[in-house]
A = this chain, B = another copy of it.
Amino acid sequence: MSNKRRKPTMNDVARLAGVNRVTASVALNGATNARTQVSEETRQRILDAARELGYAPNRVALALRANRTNIIGLYSGSTAFNALGPFGSAILRGLQEGCRIHGQDLLLFSSFGRDTERAMQTLLNGSIDGLIALPSPNDPVIDRLADSYLSVVTIANEHARMPSLIVEESGGPHLIAQYLAEKGHRHILYCGDVMRHTSAAHNQQAFVEAAAGLGLQVDLARSEWKGSLRPEETALLLRKPGDHPTAVVCWSDTYAYRLIDQLRVQGIHIPQDVGIVGFDTGQSDFHPIYNLTTVRAPWQEVAMIAIDILMATTAGQEVARKTTFPVELVIGNTV
């Protein structure tokens, strides 16, 4: 299980071909701008030798010489990157696609814990050409990176001194209200977040205002995080047609899924009896059952463009400090 030989070097190739190191270098790299030229005959010999040895240019040596690794790092705060959720997996997919386009690879650092110094040392040790930073509120590392020589682009987190890509969530509630109005709904139940995340609170208020502007009646329910609709709210939905909300807007997709399940158990049909709308899912193929109508942040696209911007900064170009993306209404069949 271990027949591991030494990795062949350019010297090995040159020796086998009977030429000097640099002749081999020039031949293998197709004579970039060096004044050195190689005859077709020796060139062939060198190529053959390389193939025979299974030579591959040493990326570490190249990186040392060029002061450039062609690797992009991912920083997700004190914890390891989490691809378990729709956000993380969409981001990862987008980053990979962006890297592919720009010929970069992606490095996932092991988690740093809360050790700021260690994180700085690791991020700044030259292993990467640039860094994508995912949201990690109040992380001192981010601020210190802004002062460093490393190019950093932040996603979903605006920073005054770094190019930032953010999604403008506030358009979502309006999109939903408008869509429901178009579908003929006049009476809506809004399930807000009982924990009152600020973004959730903003969304709720924005929805209420948008709905008011469209002449829709809105009832508010306070959903527990792990919980479900309270009996009196469920009863509201069970009243006779014409007298109850015809659609429920949920503050998150997760809650929407849970609600659909709860309502089905109680014999309520979706979307015939009542429509359901979610909010803010990333792309994933984990939940193929429901085709939920929701508002989505285009995280995959955001991540792809983050790489574009990062490469532009490392190339010395000026880039926008802030790029904003709108959310999209995704029309499913639950409303």
Contacts and interface: CB of A to CB of B under 8 A. Distances in A.
Interface string A252-265: 00100110010011
A90 B150 CA distance: 31
Interface residues of A, number: 78
* A interface SS class: loop
A321 to B, nearest CB: 6
A82 to B, nearest CB: 8
Interface stretch (A117-125, A203-211, A215-223, A231-239): A117-125
Contacts of A267: 267
8 contacts: A60-B127, A83-B93, A84-B285, A85-B286, A96-B110, A105-B110, A257-B289, A261-B290
A89 interface: yes
B1 A319 contact: yes
Given A124-B54, A286-B287, A265 B261 contact: no
Contacts of A150: 4
A58 B108 contact: no
Determine how many copies of this chain the complex contains.
Answer: 2
Nearest to A83: B83
A164 B286 CA distance: 27
B149 A7 contact: yes
Interface stretch (A12-20, A61-69, A171-179): A61-69
Interface in A75-99: 80-86, 88-89, 92-93, 96-97, 99
B2 A84 contact: no
A264 B262 CA distance: 10
A4 B286 contact: no
